Structure 1
Amino acid sequence: MKGMKTGGRKKGTPNKENPIKGFIKTHSLAYFEPKEIVGDDGKKHTMSDFDCDMMMLAPDDRVNAELRLLEFHTPKMKAIDVDMNAHVSVRTIEDKLRVLCGEEEDDDDDDEDD
């Protein structure tokens, strides 16, 4: 029977909880959560562990880390081959009417009758 559900989970049943997935999500959120940190100068700063780690990296490594993180937030673009050659013949309404009437198209203009 087409359209009738014959097996599997019932509609609306939530996915099974995965404790490892929950742990990883919690850990990741905590890594980016801003915290108060006492710096070397004795002043309090609000920074996440991620910000601290980024400050410790060399500029080129920091750029590479940012680029790798962006891969998770931007869609991958696929290369597409396109044939840009268009074979178009320009025809006026008069040309189309001649064809419909059964007349052959003239390459010469009708205005040049001498």
Structure 2
Amino acid sequence: MKTGGRKKGTPNKENPLKGFIRAHSLSYFEPKNVKFNGKATIMSDFELDMAELAPDDRVNAELRLLEFHTPKMKAVDVDMSAKINVRTIEDKLSALCGEDADEDDDEDD
């Protein structure tokens, strides 16, 4: 039973700063008619900025952008140790018969 808070389906309150940032980001990636290297072309401000970077700086920028699109992998510690008792076929057969393997060793002496 719900005792308070918003009713189901009520939209979140608008945040003017969030709206401004979203609009700015969209305009930064929106293709426009621009002049690049003396030629008229259609590029976004982002593409212009990337083209003006040195190759190593461009790669670093792309890698930093990829951090926002790919999930971070967590390190997982796994204990791979196993305790294995090696038993021969004779040990298994004697266990099935109900005999103790130690008794057979005593008889041989």
Work out the percentage of aligned pairs sharing the same amino acid.
70
Unmatched segments (≥5 aa) in structure 1: 108-114
Match of 1:110 in 2: none
* 1:81 equivalent among 66, 77, 81: 77
1:65 aligns with 2:58: no
Match of 2:3 in 1: 6
CA offsets, 1:30-65, max 9 Å, x none?
Answer: 111111112342x31111100110111111111111
Aligned length: 99
Unmatched segments (≥5 aa) in structure 2: 103-109
CA RMSD of aligned residues (A): 2.6
1:15 aligns with 2:12: yes
CA offsets, 1:69-110, max 9 Å, x none?
Answer: 111111111111101123345789xx5xx56x8x24649xxx
Return closer, same or farther for 1:6/1:40 CA change in 2, 3 Å cut-off: same
Q: TM-score if structure 2 supplies the norm length?
A: 0.75
Q: TM-score if structure 1 supplies the norm length?
A: 0.72
1: CA distance between counterparts of 2:8 and 2:17? 25
SS in 2 for 1:51: helix
2: CA distance between counterparts of 1:11 and 1:105? 70
Where does structure 1 differ by over 6 angstroms across 4 or more consecutive aligned residues? none
- What code does the residue aligned with 1:12 have? G
More helix by share: 2
